[in-house]
Amino acid sequence: MKYLIVGLGNIGEEYVDTRHNIGFKVVENIAAKFDVKFSPNILASTAEFRHKGKTIILIKPSTYMNLSGKAVRYYMEKEKIEKSNLFIVVDDLHIPYGTIRVRPNGSDAGHNGLKDITAILNTSEYPRVRVGIGSEFPKGRQVEFVLGKWNRSEKEKLQELVDLSSDVCISFCLAGLGHTMNTFNSKKIEL
């Protein structure tokens, strides 16, 4: 069984510690836990490992957030991965910091990465985990907020949030979507 875990984010030094790049942080964390390294590849940096009989492919699209769908489709086709074995890790400012929501499908909720994936796959029927980054920004400052760096209190809890989100991804591959939703949708990292 093969699984494709896609961490959404933007490439480039200026985006490294931004809220929008939580997806990259989560797949990097998984790679570190399983002692694999990312390598530059077509449309993405990729890492792969086997765990309990499953092949897990991690990707960080190098297309920038708004064109993430191109990389997702490429690796789904290349690796012959069904939509049910695709898992997207995405930041969400509509849910509080530290809250995660595992979903089998859903709207893009204004997220350009999800919007592009949905357009290219021609469906919103794919599993994802939305990682809450909160919405502590003044009206009209959304872009600055998501592309901004974590504040001090967020940073203190960030590794816990990344670890929790990483556990979600591995649970999805090993135990399935239903079990993962039941186990993790009630969990939250308190600020």
Query: What pLDDT score was predicted for residue 137?
Result: 87
Residue 170 CA, distance from chain mean position: 12
| Residues with pLDDT less than 70, the chain | none
Pick the closest to residue 60 from 122, 12, 96, 132 (CA basis): 12
Residue 45 CA, distance from chain mean position: 14
CB 92 within 8 A of CB 111: yes
* Bridge partners of residue 46, in order along the sequence: 39, 59
Query: What pLDDT score was predicted for residue 52?
Result: 97
Phi, psi at residue 60, to the nearest 5°?
Answer: -120, 100
Query: What pLDDT score was predicted for residue 191?
Result: 85
Query: What pLDDT score was predicted for residue 25?
Result: 98
Rounded to two decimals, what is the model's pTM?
0.97
In CATH terms, the fold of domain 2-184 is Rossmann fold (3.40.50)
Q: What is the DSSP letter of 150?
A: P
What residues act catalytically?
20
How is the chain split into domains, by residue range? 2-184
Query: What pLDDT score was predicted for residue 141?
Result: 86
Phi, psi at residue 5, to the nearest 5°?
Answer: -105, 120
CA dist 58 and 80 (Å) reads 14
* Bridge partners of residue 181, in order along the sequence: none
